[in-house]
Structure 1
Amino acid sequence: MQTYVFRIRLHEVLDDEAADRLYETFDEEIALEDGPKGHFIGFERQADTFLDAVLDAIAEVIELGFEPLAVEDELVSMSDIAELVGRTRQSVSMLASGQRGAGDFPPPVAGNVRSPLWHWADVAAWFESHEGEEVVPEDRMRTIAAINGALAGRVLAREHPTVLKMIERRIAG
């Protein structure tokens, strides 16, 4: 099993009651974020595959009565970055500390001094602009896109059933 880090954006505001329900169910596996960019549950979950980790989390979130809107590939450790970009942890550490490269590696956004965490989107963009490498794992991004399409379809079916039927009629078969 491998540990996967991602977050699920919710439709609902995370008030105290909602937060309590989520923490009771998921214990230390989650971090909640409620801010101007939305309402999120951050997961650090073990599973055989990224898809299994995300789908299990979504199913549990729905079972608790929340409406998941999207999945984001989010916080990564230095070891995660090394694996995702195909470099050693030491190489990434030198880039992050400014000992190598341009010296403007994205700052960590969470964690602590011994175990910092970065937004994967920031790190991937940095590698693309500074190292000329596209480093977002294509299969993982396709998985996220497929899941997000399905989640959007759930919302569309509930909020705009007539539009969904028109779309199905015009593009089906």
Structure 2
Amino acid sequence: MQEYNFTLKYRLAATDADQDDIVERLGEAGCTDMLVGIGIAGRLALQFDREADGARNAIRTALEDVKAALPTAMLVEAHPDFVSATEIADLVGKSRQNIRKLMVSNPDFPSPVHDGPSVTLWHLSDVLEWLEARKEYKLDKRLQETAHATREVNVAREAARLPSIARELEMLVA
């Protein structure tokens, strides 16, 4: 068993407005290994430090526990997956300038999944794989495993939304 660190971010139903009740329900469901963040009304961030025999199992059981406690909560994102250059630097113990230099000087650096005017985001698992192939970085295997698992969760969440979006678009174009 190892400890895996990850964050699950949720959108809450209007009926889940009582913060004390939310914390109580999460504790009763087995979520005693996390910190609760409620900074934005209707949103919830749960930072887990969960022991399991793998990142997938840690995240799966956390998702099950949250679903049991807050059945109407909608998963927004599992983290670490989408990361900025600053987050990459923090996670691998390098400076942002070091990471930026790698991005600029290596055309094979992973492509971002979002390249906006104020923020660029990558899948952390892509960047960690790339860094590992360079053999110049000592990377935490649990972080790599967690990045892969959170990416899978986020991709599955988006894929689950596709049928309803496809139906909506079909109605608009027909």
Q: TM-score range by the shorter chain?
A: 0.5 to 0.7
Contact in 2 for aligned 1:62/1:68 (Cα 8 Å): no
Partner of 1:147: 153
**Structure 1 runs not aligned, ≥5 long:** 75-118, 167-173
Q: Normalising to structure 1: TM-score of the pair?
A: 0.54
Residue 21 of structure 2 is aligned to residue 15 of structure 1? no
Provide the rounded CA distance (Å) in 2 between the counterparts of 1:141 and 1:46. Answer: 16
> What are the equivalent positions in structure 2 for 1:54-73 lying under 5 Å apart?
54-64=59-69, 65=71, 66-73=73-80
Partner of 2:125: none
Provide the rounded CA distance (Å) in 1 between the counterparts of 2:144 and 2:170. Answer: 31
CA RMSD of aligned residues (A): 3.6
Change (3 A) 1:41 1:14: farther
> What are the equivalent positions in structure 2 for 1:80-91 lying under 5 Å apart?
none
Change (3 A) 1:44 1:125: closer
Percent identity between the two aligned chains: 17
Q: Normalising to structure 2: TM-score of the pair?
A: 0.54
> What are the equivalent positions in structure 2 for 1:16-55 lying under 5 Å apart?
16=19, 17-26=21-30, 28-36=32-40, 38-55=43-60
Higher normalized contact order (CA 8 Å, seq sep 6+, divided by chain length): 2
Query: How far has the Cα of 1:148 moved from its partner?
Result: 0.6
**Structure 2 runs not aligned, ≥5 long:** 103-130, 132-138
Provide the rounded CA distance (Å) in 1 between the counterparts of 2:154 and 2:18. Answer: 24
Letter in 2 for 1:73: P
Letter in 2 for 1:160: I
